[in-house]
A = this chain, B = another copy of it.
Amino acid sequence: MKKSIGQQTLVYPHPVFIIGTYDIKNMPNIMAVSWGGICCSKPPCVAISLRKATYTYNNIMLNKAYTVNIPSENFVKEADYVGIVSGRDVNKFESTGLTPVKSTSVNAPYVEEFPLTLCCQLLKTVEIGLHTQFIGEIMDVLVDENCLDEKGKPNIDLIKPFCYDSATKNYYSIGSPLIKGFSIKEFKSKK
């Protein structure tokens, strides 16, 4: 039996994306975003939503470029911190000790210490309400060499991404593998 809990932005799991941008003085900045996800296969695109009040919003409007960085569990404190304080007040690379590196494919910095980076060129902005959605074409994906398996494929156990639960405001690790996708091509009901 289901109970209505009203209008809420509740799904499981929310991702934790760290958005890298340059500001008007070309200073690198990062912020954390959980409203987003892949939105197209061809061209490969990722969507993130930001409030106009954020420093990153202005930086993206300025440069039409950003990186989406996936932090590993080891950096959950850094990820939380950069989602709280503003780049207007603090140089977040300096305070966290993270290292900004300029992407070679777009005009935006990525986080050297994080295992995965999507280098994005702004394709479209969509006004929704409190949030503006940025749709970015993924021009390149960068992976830490230590997070690739022997076949050169990104390995989730080495990347150690995590997720966010908006109901409790806790971050959670990723657990164990369940089943292989695209494997259940027929189904016999248990009923």
Contacts and interface: CB of A to CB of B under 8 A. Distances in A.
Interface of A: 1-15, 17, 34-47, 49, 68, 70, 73, 76-78, 80-81, 83-85, 94-97, 101, 110, 112, 116-118, 123-124, 126, 128-131, 133, 135, 138-145, 148, 152-156, 159, 161-191
Report copies per complex: 2
Interface-centre pick from A4, A38, A176 (highest chain B CB count, 10 A): A38
Given A2-B112, A153-B167, 10 more contacts: A7-B44, A9-B46, A11-B70, A37-B37, A39-B128, A83-B182, A84-B182, A96-B187, A97-B189, A153-B168
Contact of A148 (B3, B81, B155): B3
A128 B123 contact: yes
Contacts of A152: 3, 5
B178 A176 contact: no
